[in-house]
Structure 1
């Protein structure tokens, strides 16, 4: 009996933590909110990366079209075939594809296209047109 009384006294001397009861409704709510905020940041970052990649592709298509038109204008006195062949070579060297090329007098009009995949499964084509020829006064 002494052992039982000693056990009760020892148990009575322990300090039990007091837990506030919330009914279990709010447990883990902050975790869900934190995950939702993190998901918003990730989706915003992906969207920003996609827009940035599309803008870079547009600029690269412009550069390819400009250089292609300048290279074609250097061959404009020979014939349209030579001018467009030179333009196609320069456009391809800049990572784009020649879509359209024509000689208009001594001016060369070049349209270049660059396909970019900013996000997996999402393809976009950036197209740019440029004209180059002799200076007119």
Structure 2
């Protein structure tokens, strides 16, 4: 009679293991999405600062305009831009939703200008 009491327990165990695997996979995907957003923000800030530095002599409006164009082309939003002499300081933001109920904004900052020796 003891065998009859254990019927169906394997189904519950398989279901529990399946749920754990799905949760671990979702966590891994969320972590990967967050890391990709961070890298995307960094690339956009770097390229924006380099493009802006190339136009630093044309004034802050031209330099920051070019930095904004490159930030948008790289999937980011220009959060801040400042010209300091011939250097351009750019901050970009990327919004990421790694999970449906979780939205975060990643910010990166880069500086570019001429080499000083």
Q: What's the TM-score, normalizing by structure 1?
A: 0.82
Distance in 2 of aligned mates of 1:80 and 1:102: 7
Aligned residues: 117
Could you say which structure has the greater relative contact order, defined with CA pairs below 8 angstroms and 6 or more residues apart?
2
**Which residue of structure 1 lines up, in the alignment, with residue 19 of structure 2?**
39
**Which residue of structure 2 lines up, in the alignment, with residue 114 of structure 1?**
94
Distance in 2 of aligned mates of 1:52 and 1:38: 21
62, 77, 94: which one aligns with 2:42:
62
Per-residue displacement from partner, 1:14-73 (whole Å, max 9, x unpaired)?
xxxxxxx21743221111011101100000000000000000000000000000000000
**Root-mean-square deviation (Å):** 1.0
- Unaligned stretches of 5+ residues in structure 1: 1-20
Distance in 2 of aligned mates of 1:35 and 1:79: 63
Matched, 1:52 2:32: yes
Q: What's the TM-score, normalizing by structure 2?
A: 0.96
Matched, 1:25 2:24: no
40, 65, 82: which one aligns with 2:62:
82
Higher helix share: 2
**Which residue of structure 2 lines up, in the alignment, with residue 7 of structure 1?**
none
3-state SS in 1 of match to 2:98? strand
- Unaligned stretches of 5+ residues in structure 2: none
**Which residue of structure 2 lines up, in the alignment, with residue 130 of structure 1?**
110
Higher Cα radius of gyration = 1
